[in-house]
Amino acid sequence: MEVTNVTEYDAIAKEKLPKMVYDYYASGAEDQWTLQENRNAFARILFRPRILIDVTKIDMTTTVLGFKISMPIMIAPTAMQKMAHPEGEYATARAASSAGTIMTLSSWATSSVEEVASTGPGIRFFQLYVYKDRNVVAQLVRRAERAGFKAIALTVDTPRLGRREADIKNRFTLPPYLTLKNFEGLDLGKMDEANDSGLASYVAGQIDRSLSWKDVKWLQTITKMPILVKGVITAEDTRLAIQAGAAGIIVSNHGARQLDYVPATIMALEEVVKAAQGRVPVFLDGGVRRGTDVFKALALGASGIFIGRPVVFSLAAEGEAGVKKVLQMLREEFELTMALSGCRSISEITRNHISTDWDAPRAQFAPRL
């Protein structure tokens, strides 16, 4: 059966992967309300297309932190990709590079920053978890910078791991033949089995719960790479992030895997964009499965979006070719949405191209009698 949209890879991955692995990628926190809402919220945003515009040529290119990319669709950090496919992060890196877009490598990757860099050219960001041992952090950041990574995506919503009940039931742990490659030499690359989730125990032991805004400033003293703060969903934290020197913000609820009953990211986006006042770019991840979703995010003020689960599911199904196909399908759908909305470039996508539940009623013109 030919795959014709991104969502279809979910079922294929479910069939192919061991239950523990699929559940780790697929599940959200607790009741998984936010997991559903990340998707459902997109359906409450409708289009106001403009017609009779010459859409012969559509330009989807954009720049992110000064780097030119082919489209505003990028790859979010997802952990332990070799659980999905033997080539793991190598395959994802090659797919991103061939699509002309950015890949974000997870701190908890099963391939190291050096290994991913060795796949060839490409614009890559590094997602950072801050460990209790700051020397580990400094070393990792230096290695990413040396390996040619261009930015840090600092995850700020995980002082503790969210309660993911599938992982507890499955006693999730990293398969013994894999390691968290970036930490291999530091004796932090293995995950012990636990009475609940092995990952939750690992986080409790290693990740710093005291992380605060001063650490965002500290990071800037140890690297020249710009810092994107990932996991902001309020106006208050947007202002603090900018004050702390963030180069950009990623509106994210961690794929609905941390605090359940936070809003869908597409619902939190406009609040963050308004608070940022154009001082830094704002990006979104969470729930993007269609080109229409990408357009809606941009219409609400995002500078680009990141996809997570579609990458690991397509990777599980078809390896590098699967990830390439996901990027290609989203690209084609987004281009079509632009054309049918009357937008020829990213800069032509405006708030007037969509309508939402929370819009003020539009002025109705009185009919001529």
pLDDT in tens, 87-145: 999 999 999 999 999 999 999 999 999 999 999 999 999 999 998 889 999 999 999 99
Place 302 in a pLDDT band, splitting at 50, 70 and 90: very high
Residue 122 annotated in ligand binding: no
State the pLDDT at residue 326.
98
Note the pLDDT tens digit of each residue in 2-28: 999 999 999 999 999 999 999 999 999
Residue 226 annotated in ligand binding: no
Residue 118 annotated in ligand binding: no
Residue 100: CB atoms within 10 Å:
15
Among the listed residues 85, 254, 324, 353, the single catalytic one is 254
Asked if pLDDT for residue 367 goes beyond 60, the answer is no
CA distance 24 to 112: 21
Asked if pLDDT for residue 366 goes beyond 60, the answer is no
Residue 351 annotated in ligand binding: no
As given in the structure block, the two tokens for residue 6 are: 């991104």
Q: For residues 267 and 307, is the Cβ–Cβ distance under 8 A?
A: no
Q: Active site includes 353?
A: no
- Contact partners, residue 322, CB within 8 Å, separation at least 6: 9, 313, 314, 315, 316
Largest separation between any pair of C-alpha atoms in the chain: 80
Residue 190 annotated in ligand binding: no
Residue 252 annotated in ligand binding: yes
